[in-house]
Amino acid sequence: MKKIGVLAIQGAVDEHIQMIESAGALAFKVKHSNDLAGLNGLVLPGGESTTMRKIMKRYDLMEPVKAFAKEGKAIFGTCAGLVLLSKEIEGGEESLGLIDATAVRNGFGRQKESFEAELTVEVFDDSPFEAVFIRAPYLIEPSDEVSVLATVENRIVAAKQANILVTAFHPELTNDNRLMKYFLEKMV
């Protein structure tokens, strides 16, 4: 059975663990670099990207997560995870640089502009995906290496590049585990 870690320093950790388990994998909390050993994949959950980056730096997790990805292991970033995984963050903040696009933090507005939308996701042939956007980012300037999977108002809200999958929304806040199953079956 596949073993998937969830970066457990801030954000929707328990919700991601439940989603991973509902999709048929084992889930583990990751708080230190040695927690990455033996994992097949990693989820960077939603939360607050600046806080997450500061804690990752304090616990020396930035380089181990980059090394994890460079080993070819899959990483799924949701919301703040998308921001952290982007090559650049608009405004110049440090990132992991693992998907070749620029993240626009709070791209759809602040908390009061949070919304839900039905998305057509390129990797699904069936019904739309009900997406929850909370202070959501989006991606701009993707390289040719990045596959755009979904957009809202012509803004990129789901994408993948090699072993990296990102969403600007929170799939863990729905009962729809298709994105997690896609991650486990096609990328891990």
Considering only CA atoms, which of 123, 121, 125, 157 is closest in space to residue 139? 157
Bridge partners (DSSP) listed for residue 29:
6
pLDDT tops 90 at residue 91: no
Tell me the average pLDDT across 137-155: 97
Whose CA is closest to 171, among 113, 115, 131, 128?
Answer: 131
CA distances from 10 to 14, 15, 16 (A): 10, 12, 12
> How do strand 74-78 and strand 164-167 relate by DSSP bridges?
parallel
pLDDT at 92: 85
User: What is the DSSP code string of 81-107?
Assistant: HHHHHEEEETT-------EEEEEETTT
pLDDT band at 36 (very low <50, low <70, confident <90, very high): very high
Average pLDDT, rounded, for the chain? 95
Query: Rounded to whole angstroms, how far apart are CA atoms 26 and 152?
Result: 32
Catalytic residue among 63, 130, 170, 185: 170
Tell me whether strands 138-140 and 74-78 are parallel, antiparallel or unpaired. unpaired
Contact 89, 105 (CB under 8 A): yes
- The pLDDT of residue 87 is 97
Question: Above 90 in pLDDT, residue 113?
Answer: no
**Unique residue bearing structure tokens 């039905």:** 118
Asked whether the predicted pLDDT for residue 30 surpasses 90, the reply is yes
Catalytic residue among 71, 79, 141, 153: 79
pLDDT at 125: 81
At residue 111, does pLDDT exceed 90?
no
Q: Which CATH superfamily is domain 3-187 in?
A: Class I glutamine amidotransferase (GATase) domain (3.40.50.880)
Strand, helix or coil for residue 75 = strand
The residue from 48, 88, 172, 185 that is catalytic is: 172
172 is known as an active-site residue: yes
Provide the pLDDT confidence category of residue 51 given band limits of 50, 70 and 90.
Answer: very high
Query: Domain coordinates of the chain in residue numbers?
Result: 3-187
Average confidence (pLDDT) over 109-135: 89
Rounded CA gap, 178 and 29, in Å?
21
Exposed (0-12), middle (13-18) or buried (19+): which is 127, by Cβ within 10 Å? exposed
Q: Alpha-carbon distance 158 to 117, whole Å?
A: 13
Radius of gyration of the chain (CA): 15
